[in-house]
Structure 1
Amino acid sequence: MSATRWTAPGGAWIVTPAVAGDRFAKARESGAAVTLVDLEDSVAPQHKDLARERAADFFTTADPAGPLPGIRINSLLTLTGIRDLAALTDYPCRPPLVLLPKVESARDIEIAAAALDADGYAPQIWALIETPRAIDKAPSIVATPRLAGVLFGAADYAAITGAGRTWPALLHARSVLANSAAAAGIAAVDSPWFELGDTDGLRREAELARELGFTGKAAVHPSQVPVITEAFRPTDAELAQARAIVDARTHTGSSITSVRGQMVGAPFYAAAQALTDRTDHTP
């Protein structure tokens, strides 16, 4: 299985414990754009070896026409993480996407790429940014050539800083990460919403994340996937406006023109073109 058969879309990412093989099918059928099998936080220390073994089946049975499958390994600063990395090289079907937790240096991405890249195989490597040091180092981390995107880890960041997990408390960290990712031309995915019973809160936070420039948001339960997917999907009105701007620029060739009563120039055109491209290339 080649990693190049998939591209990483935005929208909802769902995380499934590697030891819970009975949940694999449900994760794939949740409607998420990306399904991550987890070797890290959701797996107890005594079950790490078992998790590595079971995770291999997650990719052996993956459908290339379905959601992008990936894996979150343990930190490469731990022996467990090094064992995870070594195990991936022996999987009969290797993961198209690898998420590295606790990244605080570009070196983590370089180590993972050196260990994993092989003839016909170069997985998307994503960094989980979840510490104050990682936020400080974000510009240098995102500049790493083999990095495909970043995911914000609100829970760990809040625990380390003593901040609340509210939107205002974490706005600075999110803004730094979204800006750094945009500057490097890579995607940024927002942290999960942990209050399972608060659908309205999830929707509000997903909409705010999209406005800030995030391309998706992680989910901790299948019930959250439709809410996240809807929040990151452009409305009919937004898409119609974007297509009108693209059409106007194509036909007028003007750097500044008027579309439906709105003055638009090059930045508006670039944003509209990006929106229509993402929509037209999403299955």
Structure 2
Amino acid sequence: MTRISRRPGRAWIITPGLHADRFAGAQTSGAAVAVVDIEDSVALPDKQTARTASEAFFALPNPPCTLGIRMNSLTTIDGIKDLVALAAYTARPDLIVVPKVESPRDIELVAAALDAGGYTPDIWALIESPRAFDSLPAIMRAPRLGGVFFGSADYAASVHCGLGWDALHYARSALINAATAANIPAIDAPTWELDDPGILRRDAERAKELGFYGKGCVHPRHVPVINDIFTPTVEEISEARAIVAAADASGGTVTTVDGQMRGTPFFTAARAFLAEADGTS
């Protein structure tokens, strides 16, 4: 299925649902998407407290960004309780992140529980298990799926591998391929090193090069770096314009640009890049 997906933005910040004092900081961090988390960052005894407290995250008359929630897995009692609570929220999330997705049925269940007159939240799948990767083509066909988010920590724990880029390169590549085939965006996992901006910048550059639409983070100071990396540079725009100009001048046949051979795939990529950079895609 080919779809035109809503693409809410490049930098995503995740903040714990138990810490209401951090809500405003996440919402005003400059991230395009702020997600309150009531799954992994909340211990079992505190789930109900976080579920109740998180409603305040959405009670803004004019939110500065897209506001979302990461609920609990639908294979748990807390996931079912989350759906009941979310359906009763007075102020509702723009976006739902569904963890541990391994079947399109997970997306369908969330849509069935929450879709209502005038309200159809964007539903994103957190892909974080080997079984999910085995089922990617089916998951991507879920009609209400808005995008996918890579869950690196859970995936690495499942396959007993490291969190380094090389160890997770296959998983990231497989996710990008499947998401692109379905015409939906993929967001890379956060960088877990909080105090080294060099590591974050390197990870963000690699994620962009691989084809991720954006990247998650867990601290506001990571947001400017992610925004910087994923914002097209003057040089990138200039290079794309040169390729398109060369394509037009050559009538679409193979040509050269700055000593490099360029043909149809490069022309297509440059036009798509400029369309997105100009905000027309």
TM-score in same-fold range (> 0.5):
yes
Identity percentage over the alignment?
A: 55
Structure 1 position 79 matched with structure 2 position 67: no
User: What does 1:5-16 align with in structure 2 at a 5 Å threshold?
Assistant: 7-16=6-15
Which residue number in structure 1 is paired with residue 184 of structure 2?
Answer: 186
CA spacing shift, 1:279–1:63, aligned 2, 3 Å: farther
Take 1:113 and 1:161, find their aligned partners in 2: how far apart are those partners?
Answer: 30
Deviation per CA, 1:17-41: give whole Å up to 9, x if none.
Answer: 1121111111111111110011111
- Tell whether the 8 Å contact from 2:252 to 2:264 is kept in structure 1 after alignment: no
Equivalent residue letter for 1:15: I
**Partner SS, residue 191 of structure 2:** coil
Aligned to 2:274: 276
Matches within 5 A, 1:210-249: 210-249=208-247
Q: Name which of 105, 117, 132 aligns with 1:119.
A: 117
Q: Distance between the aligned counterparts of 2:204 and 2:194, measured in 1?
A: 14
Give the drift of 1:276: 2.0
Distance change (3 Å), C-alpha of 1:249 and 1:194: same
Give the 3-state SS of the residue equivalent to 1:40 in structure 2.
coil
Q: Are the aligned partners of 1:62 and 1:69 in contact in 2 as well (CA < 8 Å)?
A: no
The CA distance in 1 between the partners of 2:243 and 2:250, in whole Å, is 10
Corresponding letter in the other structure for 1:169 = A
1:185 shift after superposition: 0.6
Q: Distance in 1 between matches of 2:263 and 2:219?
A: 41
- Return the offset for 1:71: 0.6
Q: Aligned equivalents of 1:71 and 1:246: distance in 2?
A: 40
Counterpart secondary structure, 2:30: coil
Q: Is the 8 A contact 1:104 1:134 kept in 2?
A: yes
In the alignment, residue 181 of structure 1 is paired with which amino acid?
A: A
Cα pair 1:181 1:188 within 8 Å, conserved: yes
Q: 2: distance between equivalents of 1:79 and 1:153?
A: 21
Give runs of aligned pairs for residues 64-213 of structure 1, distance below 5 A. Answer: 64=63, 66-213=64-211
Structure 2 residue aligned with 1:20? 19
Q: Relative to 1, partners in 2 of residues 1:50 and 1:251: Cα closer, same or farther, differing over 3 Å?
A: farther
3-state SS of paired residue (2:34): strand
Shift, 1:247, TM fit: 4.6
Q: Indicate the SS of the match to 2:45.
A: helix
Q: Which runs of 5+ in 2 are unaligned?
A: none
Q: Secondary structure of 1:126's match?
A: strand
The alignment's TM-score, normalised by the length of structure 1, stands at 0.91
Structure 2 residue aligned with 1:266, among 255, 264, 267?
264
